Amino acid sequence: MNSREYFIQCLQREKPTFVKVFRAIPPDQLAYRPHPRSTSAGDLVWLLAGELHDACDLIDHHEVAFKSTPAPAKVDEAIAVYEKNAAELEKRLVKVDDAAWGKSAKFLVDGNVAWEAPLGDMLWGFLFDAIHHRGQLSAYLRPMGGKVPSIYGPSADDPGM
């Protein structure tokens, strides 16, 4: 199994866990943030949905320009976009060959190159960033009145069975 095949496998394995964490957010707590400088729960879900769209653009164009857009008012809307973008990414990934996986890609912020790396490295970076933000979001759940689902094993709220 090569890196690209393993990436697809990891993405498919992680996707349901993301949705589990998103669904654990109390619907009236999307504005919750533990600190004024922290990203709100709703904005984190939206960021993660958008990251998958950006990954599709990277595959299509080997370049993506980060754009922040307002999150929807309901978590279910953001989850639907996340699931749609995940499906689109999976469709694209099966068509990526080794040459494209190793070709340079660019991540732009405000028109400036913030990151340049082979496509595969950048997609792995996106996945690691998403897992990081999922952990951030899971730490918000209890203070919001939610329950932390099992992620890589049982939690105090979910035995994972």
Range 34-61 average pLDDT: 97
Predicted local confidence at residue 28, as pLDDT? 96
Assigned domain for 155 exists: no
Predicted local confidence at residue 47, as pLDDT? 97
CATH of the domain at 55: 1.20.120.450
Assigned domain for 73 exists: yes
Assigned domain for 150 exists: no
Could you tell me how many residues make up the chain?
Answer: 161
Assigned domain for 152 exists: no
Assigned domain for 156 exists: no
CA torsion through residues 95, 98, 100, 102, sign: positive
Q: Is it the case that residue 161 has pLDDT exceeding 80?
A: no
pLDDT in tens, 55-96: 999 999 999 999 999 999 999 999 999 999 999 999 999 999
Domain extent, residue 89, equals 3-144
How many domains is the chain built from? 1
Assigned domain for 36 exists: yes
Assigned domain for 149 exists: no
pLDDT in tens, 113-126: 999 999 999 999 99
Instruction: Provide the whole-model pTM.
Output: 0.95
